[in-house]
Amino acid sequence: MRSFIAINLPANDQLVRLLAENGPTGRSVEGKNLHLTLKFLGDIREVDGVRRSLKEIRFSKFSITLKGMGAFPNPTSGRVLFVRAFPENLLKELAAEVDSKTRDIPLDHPFDPHITILRAKGRRNFSDVISKFEGTVFLEQEVTSFSLFESILRPTGPIYNEIQKYQLI
């Protein structure tokens, strides 16, 4: 099962629409699929072991702010446009805790707190849209949980099914 661990975010079609009207072209993430990935697991067979390990995490609730934008691998030659997530230190601590409980599954890349909002087919210069939304706060909310998700890839876009939710304390 292709899976990942993430903080689920409320549907935000306003953000997606704002970018569609003002930003570059590409495949936008649907508002209902917005999430902050703590760890991508890939194809795993032993879901029950992961579920049990994640239950051991004890982490305090905290507030998250989505503010400003960036691009991977860089703004002038990007393939992914994202919104930055803060506070970086708490998000990195939670991601490290998740990684420690799933250490038998290697990280596919270092954790960088962000919300992917658009994927381009080729490389694009995202500098203008990043500058346009510099300092813009897109969302502020309390993080009370994270979840284990199944990811089903379809030609029309991915389907994310929540397997289990884990409450923060």
Residues designated as active site:
35, 114
Helix/strand/coil (H/E/C) assignment for every residue in 31-69: HHHCEEEEEEEEECCCHHHHHHHHHCCCCCCEEEEEEEE
DSSP characters over 83-134: EEEE-HHHHHHHHHHHHHHTTTS--SS----EEEEEEEEEEE--HHHHHHTT
Closest of 137, 148, 114, 100 to residue 4, by C-alpha: 148
Lookup result for tokens 């067979």: 45
**C-beta atoms surrounding 21 within 10 Å:** 7
Dihedral of alpha carbons 60, 66, 157, 120, sign: negative
Strands 145-152 and 2-8: antiparallel
